[in-house]
């Protein structure tokens, strides 16, 4: 059933991406239906009695699921129809990837009772910062579009033209980064607690810990630079994308190598 839900959600996301902007009511309804099916499939795939299913595709799928939810809510306050045409195809792709690469089961025994909370917080942090990274890319494309307006017309150009003004986009970006940074900080703290329970030491210095801490430092530097030096524009975009890429390598990238390249389970 979980696979059928994923396929149905992916198809509805594609339908939502191609619907004309004038069908706002239908777009909202299709988005809600796809989001609910996607969420149900995530729950069925990840939650199991006494265990969790973890994998790079499930993490990406969860991130895009939260991205769609954020779009659906924010679209009530801002004109984000251009964002719909970009987010929905990516959400469909993430749902399809989860159907192909389901991930591996990890047992939640008594020695790892904090693992479930740690994974939940980490997923929220990754998802929020994924939205921020998408947002930063859109801002870069939108700024480039301002210098080429009228020269070319296409699907992406039409989508960018429907986005809010750059200043509004920048405000939304830093709201998301601030919220994601709080979640990432909680991820690091919960990871320390979890590491003490499972390994008997405060922090296990593996690639995931190093990349996560490096990402935390990059986002901390960005927020400090924004507050004290007024960083914006290309500097803010560069830090956002660097922090996200580092965070992606911390878990999703390593899981992709283990599952797809090396064909290994959870490590």
* φ, ψ at 152 (rounded to 5°): -135, 150
Confidence class of residue 257 from pLDDT cuts 50, 70 and 90? very low
What ranges do the domains of the chain cover?
1-107, 112-267
Taking residues 65-85, report their average pLDDT: 78
Show the 3-state SS of 175-202.
HHHHHHHHHHHHHHHHHHHHHHHHHCCC
pTM of the model: 0.71
CA distance 160 to 7: 28
More confident residue, 17 or 252: 17
Taking residues 224-242, report their average pLDDT: 88
Q: For 43-47, 133-137, 245-249, which range has the lowest pLDDT when averaged over its residues?
A: 43-47
Q: Is 118 a residue whose pLDDT tops 90?
A: no
For every residue of 232-261, DSSP letters joined together read: -HHHHHHHHHHHHHHHHIIIIIHHHIIIII
Mean pLDDT: which of 128-132, 136-140, 223-227 is highest?
223-227
More confident residue, 244 or 116: 244
CA distance 245 to 129: 10
pLDDT tens readout for residues 91-108: 999 888 887 877 666 666
pLDDT tens readout for residues 120-129: 788 778 878 8
Is residue 13 within 8 Å of residue 92, measured between CB atoms?
yes
């Amino acid at each position: 059933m979980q696979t059928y839900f994923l396929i149905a959600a992916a198809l509805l996301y594609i339908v939502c991406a191609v619907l004309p902007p004038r069908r706002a009511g239908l777009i909202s309804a299709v988005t809600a239906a796809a989001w609910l099916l996607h969420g149900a499939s995530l729950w069925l795939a990840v939650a199991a009695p006494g265990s969790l299913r973890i994998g790079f595709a499930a993490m990406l799928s969860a991130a895009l699921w939260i991205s769609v939810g954020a779009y659906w809510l924010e679209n009530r306050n801002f004109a984000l129809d251009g964002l719909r045409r970009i987010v929905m195809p990516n959400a469909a792709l993430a749902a399809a990837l989860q159907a192909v690469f389901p991930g591996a089961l990890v047992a939640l025994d008594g020695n790892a009772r904090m693992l479930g909370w740690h994974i939940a917080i980490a997923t929220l942090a990754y998802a929020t910062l994924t939205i921020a990274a998408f947002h930063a890319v859109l801002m870069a494309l939108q700024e480039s579009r301002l210098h080429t307006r009228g020269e070319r017309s296409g699907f992406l150009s039409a989508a960018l033209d429907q986005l809010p003004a750059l200043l509004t986009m920048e405000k939304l970006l830093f709201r998301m980064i601030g919220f994601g940074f709080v979640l990432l900080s909680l991820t690091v703290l919960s990871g320390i607690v979890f590491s003490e329970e499972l390994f008997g030491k405060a922090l296990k210095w593996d690639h995931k810990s190093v990349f996560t801490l490096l990402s935390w430092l990059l986002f901390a530097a960005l927020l400090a630079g924004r507050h004290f030096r007024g960083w914006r524009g290309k500097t803010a975009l560069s830090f956002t994308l660097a922090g996200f890429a580092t965070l992606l390598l911390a878990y999703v990238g390593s899981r992709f190598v283990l599952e797809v390249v090396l064909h290994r389970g959870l490590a």
